[in-house]
Amino acid sequence: AFADKLALIGEENFLQFERMVLLQSIDTHWREHLSSLDYLRQGIHLRGYAQKQPKQEYKREAFELFGQLLDSVKNEVTKTLMTVKIQSSEELNQAAEAIENRGENIANVTYTAPTETGEIEVRMDEDTQRLSTALTTEQMQRTGRNDPCPCGSGKKFKQCHGKLS
Tens digit of each residue's pLDDT (9 = 90 or more) over 99-131: 777 665 555 555 566 666 666 665 555 655 554
What residue ranges of the chain are covered by domains with CATH 1.10.3060.10? 2-97
CATH code of domain 2-97: 1.10.3060.10
Tell me 143's DSSP state: S
Question: Given this model, what pLDDT does residue 58 score?
Answer: 94
pLDDT at residue 34 in the model:
96
- Write phi, then psi, for 49 (nearest 5 degrees): -70, -20
Segment 134-161 shows an average pLDDT of 76
- Which residues have C-beta within 8 Å of that of residue 5, sequence separation ≥ 6? 14, 84, 86
- The confidence score (pLDDT) of residue 84 equals 86
Write the pLDDT tens digit of every residue in 16-66: 999 999 999 999 999 999 999 999 999 888 888 888 899 999 999 999 999
- What's the pLDDT at 156? 84
pTM over 0.85: no
Whole-number Cα distances in Å, 104 to 2, 27, 97, 108, 127: 37, 35, 11, 8, 16
**What are the residues whose beta carbons fall under 8 Å from the beta carbon of 62, sequence distance 6 or more?**
37, 40
Overall average pLDDT of the 147-151 stretch: 82
For residue 145, pLDDT over 50 is answered with: yes
